[in-house]
Amino acid sequence: MRHKFLGTGEPGYHPLRKLRTIVSGLRYAVVYDFSVAWKLVLSMAVLTAALFARDWIDSLLIIVVTALVLVAEIMNSAIEALCDFVETRHNEKIGIIKDIAAAGVGIAMFAWLLVIGFEVEEMLRALLK
């Protein structure tokens, strides 16, 4: 695809190529990053239960917070990989950059855990009635 600012690459827009790149990146993140994989699996299990219970708003909330935490995890992994590529030795500034990226994941993960926890608790209460 042609880069509109640099003027490099092939001309034309190919949405299927974009979709293939997205799927490839997501597959790589799930296969090689355990933190992405377990969050995705747990979210899918809770989402499936919410969909069977026909809790549409709850299902949408689970999708949104799962997307938020997955985006944060994937961006964190990309930042860490880029930092390790640029500087292989220990560097205090690189450490700070990685810590900031990890803090973003922590915030997203806190929201995700709250939502997943409340949803699981709500489902357990419904089963015990």
Complete DSSP assignment for 30-73: HHH-HHHHHHHHHHHHHHHHHHHTT-HHHHHHHHHHHHHHHHHH
Q: What span, in angstroms and rounded, lies between the C-alpha atoms of 43 and 55?
A: 15
Closest CA to 42 of 114, 106, 116: 116
Place of tokens 């915030």: 107
User: Tokens 């042609």 identify what position?
Assistant: 2
| Residue 6 pLDDT grade (very low, low, confident, very high; cuts 50, 70, 90) | low
For residue 2, the model assigns a pLDDT of 60
Cα–Cα nearest to 118, from 71, 69, 54, 65? 65
pLDDT band at 4 (very low <50, low <70, confident <90, very high): low
Domain boundaries, the chain: 1-32, 34-128
pLDDT tens per residue, range 10-47: 666 677 878 888 888 888 888 988 888 899 899 988 88
Residue 52 — φ and ψ, nearest 5°?
A: -65, -30
Q: Bigger pLDDT: 3 or 50?
A: 50
99 pLDDT band, cuts 50/70/90, is very high
Q: Is the pTM higher than 0.95? A: no
Tell me the pLDDT of the chain averaged across its residues. 87
Over range 53-70, report the average pLDDT: 88
**Residue 113 DSSP symbol:** H
CATH 1.10.287.3610 matches 34-128: yes
